[in-house]
Amino acid sequence: MEDHYNNYQENKLKEFESACLRCGNCCGAADNNPCEHLIPDKDGKYLCDIYEHRFGLHKAKNGNVFLCVPIRNILFKSWTGSEKCAYKKMLTR
Ligand code: SF4
Ligand code: SF4
């Protein structure tokens, strides 16, 4: 039963994560001051190079320190390019 529940949770998480457009805007891509861990890939999308351990304090390109938090914690806020965020769009459906 527990395994079944864990699988369900894992699948839900994958489904949720696959909705992300990987635009990088929640990590500063659109305001030209990205997190130091945000890296572009060959398709013009972005990846976090510490994704599994991302939550915590990190530096932006300009040296400012900020706290990386789960996306659900900031969905009611705005950031540059946030109007394109797939998760924000889900909220307004
Ligand atoms: S650490 Fe957080 S803010 Fe930085 S690239 Fe990864 S997910 Fe984005
Ligand atoms: S702004 Fe939204 S869609 Fe874009 S990378 Fe962040 S979570 Fe994904």
Give per-residue pLDDT as tens, 39-84.
999 999 999 999 999 999 999 999 999 999 999 999 999 999 999 9
Which residue in 73, 88, 72 sits closest to 23, CA to CA?
88
Asked whether residue 50 is assigned to any structural domain, the reply reads yes
Instruction: Give the closest ligand to the alpha carbon of residue 66.
Output: 1
Asked whether residue 13 is assigned to any structural domain, the reply reads no
Domain that holds residue 42: 22-91
Asked whether residue 1 is assigned to any structural domain, the reply reads no
Asked whether residue 9 is assigned to any structural domain, the reply reads no
Asked whether residue 16 is assigned to any structural domain, the reply reads no
Structurally, the chain folds into a number of domains equal to: 1
Q: How far is the CA of 87 from the centre of ligand 2 (A)?
A: 7
- Does ligand 1 lie within 6 Å of residue 29's CB atom? no
Instruction: Tell me how far apart the alpha carbons of residues 26 and 22 are, in angstroms, rounded to a whole number.
Output: 9
| CA distance readout (Å), 78 to 8, 18, 59, 93 | 31, 21, 20, 17
Higher pLDDT, 90 or 47: 47
Letter string b/e over residues 46-67, b meaning 16 or more CB atoms within 10 A of that residue's CB: bebeeeeeeeeebebeeeeeee
Q: How far is the CA of 68 from the centre of ligand 1 (A)?
A: 6
Asked whether residue 54 is assigned to any structural domain, the reply reads yes
Q: Which residue, by CA, sits nearest to atom 8 of ligand 1?
A: 27
